[in-house]
Amino acid sequence: MRLNRSFQLIPSIMLVMTLAQSHAFAQENPEAGGANRCQEALAANAALNDDWAGALSRLASRKLHEATHRNDAAPGVVIASPSRANPDYYYHWTRDAALTMATIHRQYLVETNPDAKRSLRNTLMDFSRLSRGHQQTPTRGGMGEPKFHVDGRAYDEDWGRPQNDGPALRAITLIEFARTLLREGEGELVRSFFYDGKIPTASVIKADLEFTAHHWREPNFDLWEEVLGDHFYTRMVQRKALVLGAEFARELGDHGAADWYASQAQALSAEIERHWNADLGLIMPTLNLRGGVDYKHSHLDTAVLLGALHGDAGDGFMTVHDPRIKATMDRIEGKFREIYPINHRPEIPGVAIGRYPEDKYAGNDFNGGNPWVLLTVAYAEAYYQMAQKTNDRELRTQHFQRAESFMERVRFHANPDGTLSEQMNRHTGFMMSAHDLTWNYSALLDALRFRVR
């Protein structure tokens, strides 16, 4: 085995190298690969920087700022990655952008420096206005259009569309932001621009809620943009949008709409329950497959975990504490442990997690799927949440350590400067596909907020 052999060739001096040096080594010797950075190097790095979580947060915050402040992009745009080729991710994806802006809103809530706070508020306002513009732009995917050019124009090439998680995620983020604005005394702005309670509506949140409430039964493309059908992930975030939407509409006195959103959320819950497959012992990512990729025979997909995380409506429905989610997570982790060579190296902590076992998408080509940073981080977030929830001290420590191991895995494969690409090569661990994926940094900040010892 090439990897093992090159590992044995590493001189013992390697064992005392700092992580920075070992990165340099790994880069000059791509044959040796990221996998060959030894555990001692990781330990050395931890000793050098025991505030890794703080350093990572600062890096992630800086990257979110960069992704939302581009000279060539319209205000409010979030680039998915600065990568303009192989793959070209220099677009505003509705999903990535909504998730990122939810993170930015949480930063806004805790920011104490007035200038920084004002700047975050401007970013959120720009995003809100851009979103309204997108809703009114004629596109091939209608409200479920998955991505836009960075100047705000519609993208009109062929694509897996519509993707109906987009309007739901956008509604979730904007409801959270609008609630903050209400607390800040911006009632007028909220009732005119964000939620006007009218039909037809001229307001951004109401438009997404109306769309979601009326169209959630329609088959659409999944978050991986490959499969046409009914998806657990999409339904979970649609449900959350409608649960929050019902509360928000009620707060604003729109009681008829509140009842309607609540009834649709309930109907969605019943459909979501059907995704549990007791025979297989897992939650099915897709039901009623209508088209697109048809080789996902294992029915294991980390989209299910993301559904539990992003679809957590605060009412206990299908959260990471649900044994069905945990059972699905365990099956997925076990499978990736088995099929990715990079997971066969006991000296690297944690497990690297991919999208689904049959995945072929590698960014530049379709020669085989790899583990993804944001999905490995999703496992960390789930375990941090479990640690926080339990009163059993021993279990708490166990969950916390599991969470840390997924974080360590990501740090282990990070670039020397800490930056993170979409994927980690399944053989070598090296960062690959889109560099500086914005969603990675948002996912990291989301996970770290549950990291409480």
Footprint on this chain of ligand NOJ (rule: CB under 6 A)? 80, 89, 93, 95-96, 160, 223-226, 361, 439
* Contact (CB, 8 A) for 238 and 212: yes
Nearer to ligand NOJ, 223 or 410 (CB): 223
Nearer to ligand NOJ, 262 or 437 (CB): 437
Shortest distance (Å) from residue 331 CB to ligand NOJ: 21
Q: How far apart are CA 319 and CA 300, in angstroms?
A: 17
Task: Name the residue with tokens 């044959």.
Answer: 31
Name the catalytic one among 225, 247, 251, 322: 225
Query: Which two structure tokens, joined as six digits, stand for 28?
Result: 């000059």
List 176, 222, 230, 381, catalytic entry: 222
Spatial strand order of the sheet with 227-231 comes to 220-221, 227-231, 286-292
C-alpha distances out from residue 232 to 226, 260, 270, 297, 318, Å: 14, 22, 12, 16, 10
Name the residue nearer to ligand NOJ (CB basis): 95 or 231: 95
Residue nearest to ligand NOJ as judged by C-beta position: 361
Reply yes or no on whether 226 is catalytic: no
Structure tokens at 124: 């959120």
Nearest distance from residue 295's CB to ligand NOJ, in Å?
Answer: 12
Structure tokens at 144: 């479920």
Cβ-based nearer residue to ligand NOJ, 283 or 374: 374
Q: Which class for 8: exposed (0-12), middle (13-18), buried (19 or more C-beta within 10 A)?
A: exposed
Per DSSP, the residues of 125-172 read: HHHHHHHHHHHHS--TTGGG--EE-TTSPBP-S--S---THHHHHHHH
DSSP string, 243-289: HHHHHHHHHTT-HHHHHHHHHHHHHHHHHHHTTEETTTTEE-SEEEE
Taking CA atoms, 245 is separated from 110, 249, 262, in Å, by 24, 6, 8
CB of 361 to ligand NOJ, least distance (A): 4
Closest to ligand NOJ by CB, 89 vs 430, is 89
Shortest Cβ distance from residue 158 to ligand NOJ (Å)? 10
The residues pairing with 231 across neighbouring beta strands, listed in sequence order, are 286
Pairwise CA distance, residues 335 & 88, whole Å: 30
Minimum CB separation from ligand NOJ for residue 224, in Å?
A: 4
Between 95 and 235, CB nearer to ligand NOJ: 95
Smallest distance, Å, CB 88 to ligand NOJ?
A: 10
**Taking the complex as a whole, how short is the minimal distance between the CB of residue 359 and ligand NOJ, in angstroms?**
7
Q: Which is nearer to ligand NOJ, 33 or 285 (CB)?
A: 285
Which run of H or E residues covers position 46? helix 39-48
H-run or E-run covering 351: none
Peptide bond into 200 cis (omega under 30): yes
Reply yes or no on whether 222 is catalytic.
yes
Q: Which residues are catalytic?
A: 222, 225
